[in-house]
Amino acid sequence: MFFPLSWILGTSEWNLNLVDCFFRGLVGACGISVLCNLMRVYNFIQTCIDSETDNGDARESSSAVGRFRAALQFWSLTVLLSLVGSRVSSLIVLEFSLRAIAAWASAGLDASGRGVDLLLIQCQFSLGCSLTCTLDFLHQGAPHSSLGLFLAAALSWALANYSHDLWNHVARLYPLHSRERYCGKCITLLTSGHTILASLQRAVLKAFAVAAVASTATVYDHFLSQKDALKFWTPLTLCYTMLVVYIQEEQHRQTGPEVLLHTVVVRLGALLVLMLTVGTWSDVLQVLTTFFGEAVCLLPSQDLLQAVLKVCSSSCAFLSVFLAFFFLLREIM
């Protein structure tokens, strides 16, 4: 009955626990939901502070259609993350960690900080994989792993619901409550809402730091423990590092949603070629599953991308005006 799923995950019918897979996928989807909701809260607050603009997109996200899309995205991510096994999840975590290091290394060249903000948008599915990979590593051999995963899923569900309710409250009532000053949530966001993005960056960094340890152990057990494996993986790692540097240079030269989709196709295409070389057919199918996972994460995130690009354009415009004013003063003097 469960043979197709066990074959996709690369496990036998006897040691596959569908409940554990579902709980791990649920935790990963909740992590992605918390990240997106808090980023939307931050961007909406900054928009209200900067200018008086129409919040039609926010009202649309809190409508019945917006709630249906959010629920569809959440449960789709739960299923997709449940299908991606620990082997492929570990590789996704390590390749994104390498890409994040390259982005932070070149962040000094980007005066607007656009690279780090775009990295948060791109890390959604990789963040879900980091959570599932960490849970799989921590619960290996545990006598009550299902109970531990259930508690983790319940806590994640509570956090995701709170962040979703907070976003709905902010989208509908923050412009009014921030002026009237009689709502505790909105007053707190008015005074400390500017720290949300920095807190998210620290939380994501810690999640990937823990997942990198678990991923390294998993990759070593499944790929590098064989004889002469390092002789084969060393040139592949160097080639992939060069590919990551190329992707970073392309992102600095171009902007827009098509850049993110191009980046996903290039890096997951490279991972697919890698799995065709050293992996199994179940690994190949899981890499193909990650294509759908990235699409489910990035396509509904166009509002976040537009907010990042808008901030970048505003910063660049201000910098251009400042430089023009400076050179005009120098000519006058």
**Residue 135's pLDDT band (boundaries 50, 70, 90)?**
very high
pLDDT in tens, 53-66: 455 556 555 566 77
Contact indicator for 73, 294 with CB cutoff of 8 Å: no
Please report the pLDDT score of residue 254 as a whole number.
58
Sort 291 into a burial class: Cβ within 10 Å, 0-12 / 13-18 / 19+: middle
- Across the range 219-236, mean pLDDT stands at 69
Positive or negative: CA dihedral 154, 159, 164, 165: positive
Helix (H) or strand (E) holding 329: helix 302-332
- Across the range 81-110, mean pLDDT stands at 80
- Across the range 87-96, mean pLDDT stands at 89
**Residue 325's pLDDT band (boundaries 50, 70, 90)?**
very low
Q: What is the mean pLDDT of the chain?
A: 77
How far, in Å, are 219, 230, 271 from residue 233 at the CA level?
11, 5, 13
pLDDT in tens, 103-118: 676 655 444 455 677 7
The answer, yes or no, to whether residue 12 has pLDDT greater than 50, is: no
The answer, yes or no, to whether residue 1 has pLDDT greater than 50, is: no
Find the domain containing 162 and state its range: 3-332
Please report the pLDDT score of residue 145 as a whole number.
84
Of all residues in the chain, what percent carry a pLDDT higher than 90? Answer: 29
More confident residue, 5 or 149: 149
**Residue 317's pLDDT band (boundaries 50, 70, 90)?**
very low
Task: Give the number of domains in the chain.
Answer: 1
**DSSP conformation letters of 239-299:** HHHHHHHHHHHHHHH--SHHHHHHHHHHHHHHHHHHHHHHS-HHHHHHHHHHHHHHHHHHG
Contact indicator for 60, 116 with CB cutoff of 8 Å: no
Token pair recorded at residue 289: 């599953």
Nearest one of 320, 301, 306 to 47, comparing CA atoms: 306
The answer, yes or no, to whether residue 169 has pLDDT greater than 80, is: yes
- Across the range 187-198, mean pLDDT stands at 86
- Kindly report the length of the chain: 333
The answer, yes or no, to whether residue 277 has pLDDT greater than 90, is: no
131-135, 243-247, 274-278: which is most confident: 131-135
- Across the range 143-154, mean pLDDT stands at 90
Nearest one of 166, 170, 188, 164 to 55, comparing CA atoms: 170
pLDDT in tens, 26-84: 999 999 999 999 999 998 888 877 665 455 556 555 566 777 888 999 999 999 999 99
Nearest one of 240, 229, 163, 224 to 196, comparing CA atoms: 163
